[in-house]
Structure 1
Amino acid sequence: MSGEPEVTRTPEEEEEEEIKSSYKPPPEKTIDEILAADQEDESLRKYKEALLGEAQAGAVIVDPNDPRRVIVKKLALCVTGRDDVELDLSGDLTDLKKQVFVIKEGVQYRIRIDFIVQREIVHGLKYVQKTYRLGVPVDKMTHMVGSYPPKTEIQSYTTPPEDAPSGMVARGSYSVNSLFTDDDKNVHLQWEWCFDIKKDWKD
């Protein structure tokens, strides 16, 4: 039987293919280059200065010992009427699997990512989340977070609302692989965490 042999991709190659954008990102520019452009347009110049804020005064460096431009600090599970449940992403990421979120079946929730941008503007941030049950992928979502200037304070992105699965079949333990990346395929942070779907919050 003739024909081309089937090409099998590794999970890493599939991941790289999945996070590729369908558009070509604009060329990356420094803060100085952005401010220098369109100087003759007074309204545009003022708009850019207001948008960039403290970043225009020079490189914003929150942690001089950390060379990264994006420092992911925290993931929070947000449900209306309940306190946010948070995961600290600044420590040992291997400990995250020991902290299991409990989610009531059918409830609507959001995920908030807290992060710091330092040194330069970061373009086209993306949050990619893959959910597995018993090692089998059951859900995947990719959210365009956007472009952010460096700031001394924490910046946040909250996903649109998601409905947790419901029913006896849906109850059980799930593992999640989360990835914070950008248009240039820089992996700012990749981590794994877990949650349980239960009949009730205290079930």
Structure 2
Amino acid sequence: MRKLIVSTIMSLDGYVEGPGRNVMALPMDGFFDEHNLERQRAADTLLLGATTYMGLKGYWPAVAENPAVSPAVANTPDVADLHRETGQRNNEMRKFVVSDSLTEDDTAPWTDTTTIVRRADAHEVVAELKDQPGKDILMFGSRTLWNDLLVAGLIDELYLMVGHAVLGEGTPAFSTGPVPPLQLVDTRRRDGSDNVLLHYKVVNRDA
């Protein structure tokens, strides 16, 4: 059985979005970008909520073609290859988006690699995906979806990058559902970054 992995960033006070659902309030630095590419290299499938899917779709295809359109590359040109590879992998990876509102018309230019899953079918589809051969299944963002799957016992590991920003309010990382026990596997830092990466394994409550 392959693993379902969540990779997300949150503020020091536990928010994945700032006021007004502003994700740009979080310190998404080079360490964050490098880690996400590392996780992509270990995966062959993306599982996303509709908001995250539309955000990635609206950004990465253009960066794959020309990394210079990325503000991060404009500020630091030597990360162009990292952003190009990230964009290319986002284009090529198989994608499942959980939504009751999206249609095939909403998926271009990712139509050929996208499967839309209705919310009522999400748990069954995810369980089936985990039973298939392959590399990791990876989730970026998608806070509502991964919290639901976490409570349902379908998430295997969490990579939580804790940023140095204190937002005061916003969208909390965890919902009010009963979170299963988490076991700390590793912590990482990178020189030049004030962010800390926490890697947790979700403990199987039936084990």
The TM-score normalised by the length of structure 1 is 0.25
Based on CA coordinates, which of the two structures has the bigger radius of gyration? 1
Higher strand share: 1
Higher relative CO (Cα under 8 Å, sequence separation at least 6) belongs to 2
Higher helix share: 2
